[in-house]
Each structure stands twice: as C-alpha cells, then as structure tokens.
Structure 1
Amino acid sequence: MSRLFLLRHAKAEWAEPGQRDFDRALAASGVEDAKALAAAMVEQALLPAQVICSSAARARQTLDAINTVHDFSAVTRYDQNLYATDAPGYLEVAASSGVDTDLMLVGHNPMLEDVAIALASSGDEALVDDLQMGFRTSGLAVIALDGPIADIEKLSGRLETYLTPATS
C-alpha cells in the first residue's frame, strides 16, 4: 500500500509583460497559504517519504514556503516534466520515481486535477465532490493506492483527504 500526495502550487502573481509563465512568482497570500497547509500536514501526520517538484518558479516557491514549517529538502528532487507534461506524464514521473511508499508531486493544473479524479475512485463523498469542483491552489489531495507506486498506471485508489487553504 502506498499513498500519492498531489499538491498544486500556491496562488501565483499574474505574469508581467514579457515574463514567461514558467517564471511567475507566488503572491504573498500564496506563501501564507502554503505555510498554513504545511502546518496542517504536520498536525495530521501527512508527511511523504519523497517529493518531486516541478521546476517552475511558483512550484519551487510553494515548496520553499512549506519547508519553513517542515523541511522536505533532503527528500526532494525537481523535474521539469511536471511543468510541461500531461496527466499521463505525471503518472509516468510517479511510476519511475523508485519510491515504494508515500510520494508527493508538486505541480500544476489541469494535470493534478485529472490525475486525482482518475485515481480517486472512492473516498469520503464530500471530499470527492469538493475535489471535482476544481483543484484549488495550495490544495493537497492524498490518495491511498491499492498497490505500489511503480504500478500506478494500473491502480485505483481512495481519496484519504483533500486539504485546501479554507480547510487548513
């Protein structure tokens, strides 16, 4: 049994004229939301063994804010594919991670939402409904899988929790 943590980056600033989307920074409210989420993760013992983070600025800054509350830096690596790929690509990144237990992907919509909805075939009905209304910024979906992450492309799971800034 393993768990996949799906974390959408926190609220970002709008792009400045001529600025690449990849380089957009977090808004001040996004930093605070990420810290509040991290506190809720610690309080609820939602601490993944490994983290793979998009290399986009707003994803990295989200993880930096989380690391001020609970430091995941020793178990983190960055992957540009989480910025540029689709939902099946997210599954490939997870499957090839080499992680046997709990893995957190820090990334972007719509890919995270697509992965969460595809994998979370069951769970608390209210949480599933909330997730299906849209994967919010600083949202964290934790999905308990019915097998190892290496087999994620063939698995289904149960939504354990879905935390958002409003629920953190």
Structure 2
Amino acid sequence: MQDSVAPAFRLFLLRHARSGWALPGQRDFDRTLDDTGFAEAELIAQSAADHGIRPDLILCSTAVRCRQTAEPLYRTLGEDIDLQYIDALYTGSMNVYAELLDANSSLASLMLIGHNPMIEELFRRLLGDAAADRILADGYPPAALAVIDFSAPPSAGARWLARLSTLLLPVPGEPGRS
C-alpha cells in the first residue's frame, strides 16, 4: 500500500460489519453483529493488517455493532493504537463525520468506524458521486474499508482533494450486501 509519495493525510472509512435485526424490545443501539458480521470483522481486520494499515487514531461509534467491528482491528493492528468511542458517530449526521475528520487533520491518518448512510455520504462527498457510483455501484457494503488519500490535510471551508487508494472488502471478490 506504499505510494511513491506519502499522502498529506490518509482517511480509513469502515462501515460496521453485518448485524442482525433488533430483537423485540431491543434498541437499535444494542444490535449485535450476526455470525456473518463477526466473520467479516475478523476478515477485514486481517486484510487491514496484511495491507499495513495502522491509523494514528481510531474513532468508533459507541453502538454495539461498531464496537464489535473495532475489536478485531484493535487486537490485530495493535492495542497501542489510540481507540476512542464517540457517541456522535452513532447519533450524528454526515456533517458530524466531516467535522471529526477536520478536527483530526493534524494527524497523518484517521480511521472512522461508523454507520450508513453517513459513511457512504462522506465517501461520496470526498470522491464525488460519479466516482462513488463507479466504485460502489450497489452502495457501501458492511465491513468495507476505504483508504482515502488527501493531497493536502482536510480543513473546514476548503475543497477536499482526495482519491481512493484502496478498497478492502471482507470477502475477496464479493462486494457484500447492504
């Protein structure tokens, strides 16, 4: 995954792995990964390690399914990585995701672990609708990890110049289902 020129900033966008439906009386926040989701989380963690991914900071939604997706990454990539749980990644809009990106642009890299539609909306904002449609025609699948490189650190009010470096899917050759 090494480019000849290091990006000014690298963003890792990870949608939580596949989860089951809420049980009767269960809050959406408490939904857990299903068996497929647990397998996807392990696969994407191993793929991330195989690609040398090691963010400076991981910001993860506090929702159970996101924390369960983050756990194998944390274990596989190294428990010395700064991992923070942020309520706003569960409750907030895509603008909250963009604000967290901007607030952490002094780092070399950041990983956001969150939910759709916010992950896909940020992906589209960064790469443009035409590129997003070409790359992910069926939407942003569960446990997909996009590596997005910026030619300049992202900042509020500035036009973000970003390109997709890598897209990792939990099962090689299968785009996943929404």
TM over 0.5: yes
Q: Deviations over 1:35-89 (max 9, x none)?
A: 1111111111122111000000000010012233223464111100001111111
Q: Which runs of 5+ in 2 are unaligned?
A: 1-7, 174-178
Conserved in 2, the CA contact under 8 Å of 1:14 and 1:24?
Answer: yes
CA RMSD of aligned residues (A): 2.3
Offset at residue 120 of structure 1 (A)? 1.8
Measure the CA separation in 1 of the matches of 2:69 and 2:146.
15
Corresponding position of 1:134: 139
1:45 to 52, 60, 65: 52
Aligned pair count reads 166
Measure the CA separation in 2 of the matches of 1:152 and 1:76.
27
Matched, 1:96 2:98: no
In the TM superposition, 1:110-149 aligns within 5 A as 110-121=117-128, 129-149=134-154
Measure the CA separation in 1 of the matches of 2:23 and 2:13.
28
Normalised by the length of structure 1, the TM-score is: 0.88
Matched, 1:81 2:100: no
Matched, 1:55 2:75: no
Runs of 4 or more, structure 1, over 4 Å off, are 125-128, 150-153
Matched, 1:67 2:38: no
Matched, 1:22 2:29: yes
Measure the CA separation in 2 of the matches of 1:29 and 1:88.
30
Conserved in 2, the CA contact under 8 Å of 1:127 and 1:161?
Answer: no
1:3 to 5, 10, 23: 10
Q: Report the secondary structure of 1:154's partner residue.
A: coil
